[in-house]
């Protein structure tokens, strides 16, 4: 399993991914799932991937090849983020098409998803989720984050904190906590964690981070978070239980 997320708001974009890949629970390894394809000063392009590793690696390799061979459609000459999302979706469809009969024969899941975040000169920054079917959606002001892979454990913290005017630094910490929560609850999501922070209109990804297993920042963050959770419980008013005399045990009556 994998967990990747992207958040966009008025200040920029934060994207993060874990690195764990597993084939069952008895074969676990680490692969990067966050890739920075930016062309400094012209366009910032960051891609995260989840799903069948042979397919996602295939797509990433194809993107690089098209760049290096100067193909007419590549990450550097497509005119907009929308076109880039469309192009990645097409690549994903192509590779899935060619492998599907062989994988299906053995009930191997060949689906994969991508997050695409960045900014092309002349446009606003944008964030997309490209589905296994190659179609895609864009994050908006109302729903400023997108997730792929093991999305559920890390969603509550995002639902509660991410707003259109959340500062970038807080967004990055929140992304990290969202990934950490997922790692704690699902063993198939694990370090190293890759994180990028993109400041609006800079057209270059200046902030990158890789946190390895046992990184002191991760440990400190986890401890501090758990302390705050406990103090939140202490601060919460006591529950107002129903007065005992008003309780009648209706539950055992036959309706």
Interface contacts to a second copy, rule CB under 8 A: 35-38, 61, 64-65, 67-68, 152-157, 159-161, 169-170, 172-174, 176, 181-182, 184-185, 195, 197, 206-210, 217, 220-221, 224-226, 228-242, 244, 247, 249, 251-255
Closer residue to a second copy (CB): 61 or 124: 61
Token pair 């008003």 is found at: 246
Closer residue to a second copy (CB): 73 or 230: 230
Instruction: Give min distance, CB of 18 to a second copy, in A.
Output: 15
Instruction: Give min distance, CB of 197 to a second copy, in A.
Output: 7
Closer residue to a second copy (CB): 27 or 233: 233
| Residues paired with residue 113 on neighbouring β-strands, in sequence order | 50
Instruction: Give min distance, CB of 101 to a second copy, in A.
Output: 27
Contact assessment for residue 177 and residue 158, using Cβ atoms and an 8 Å cutoff = no
Instruction: Tell me the C-alpha to C-alpha distance, in Å, between residue 234 and each of 37, 150, 229, 238, 239.
Output: 46, 31, 9, 9, 12
Closer residue to a second copy (CB): 101 or 165: 165
Instruction: Give min distance, CB of 149 to a second copy, in A.
Output: 13
Instruction: Give min distance, CB of 126 to a second copy, in A.
Output: 19
Instruction: Give min distance, CB of 180 to a second copy, in A.
Output: 9
Distance of CA 17 to the CA centre of its chain: 6
Instruction: Tell me the C-alpha to C-alpha distance, in Å, between residue 114 and each of 46, 90, 152, 215.
Output: 10, 12, 17, 27
Sorted by sequence, the CB contacts under 8 Å of residue 186 that are 6+ apart come out as 1, 3, 150, 153
Instruction: Tell me the C-alpha to C-alpha distance, in Å, between residue 255 and each of 246, 247, 249, 250, 251.
Output: 20, 18, 13, 9, 9
Whole-number Å distance between alpha carbons of 81 and 154: 26
Closer residue to a second copy (CB): 81 or 168: 168
Closer residue to a second copy (CB): 141 or 206: 206
């Amino acid at each position: 399993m994998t967990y990747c997320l992207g958040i966009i708001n008025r200040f920029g974009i934060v994207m993060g991914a874990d690195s764990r890949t597993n084939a069952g629970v008895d074969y676990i390894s680490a692969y990067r799932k966050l890739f920075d394809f930016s062309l400094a000063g012209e366009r910032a392009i960051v891609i995260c991937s989840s799903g069948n590793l042979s397919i996602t690696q295939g797509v990433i390799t194809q993107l690089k090849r098209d760049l290096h061979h100067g193909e007419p459609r590549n990450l550097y000459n497509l005119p907009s983020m929308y076109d880039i999302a469309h192009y990645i979706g097409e690549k994903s469809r192509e590779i899935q098409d060619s492998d599907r009969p062989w994988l299906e024969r053995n009930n191997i899941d060949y689906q994969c998803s991508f997050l695409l975040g960045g900014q092309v000169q002349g446009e606003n920054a944008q964030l997309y989720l490209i589905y296994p079917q190659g179609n895609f959606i864009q994050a908006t002001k109302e729903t400023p984050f997108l997730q792929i892979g093991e999305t559920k454990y890390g969603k509550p913290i995002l639902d509660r904190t991410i707003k259109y005017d959340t500062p970038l630094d807080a967004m990055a910490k929140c992304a990290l906590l969202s990934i950490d929560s997922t790692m704690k609850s699902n063993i198939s999501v694990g370090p190293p964690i890759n994180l990028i922070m993109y400041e609006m209109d800079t057209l270059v990804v200046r902030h990158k981070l890789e946190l390895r297993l046992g990184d002191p920042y991760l440990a400190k963050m986890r401890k501090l978070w758990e302390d705050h959770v406990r103090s939140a419980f202490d601060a919460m008013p006591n529950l107002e239980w129903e007065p005992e005399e008003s309780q009648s045990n209706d539950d055992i009556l036959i309706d």
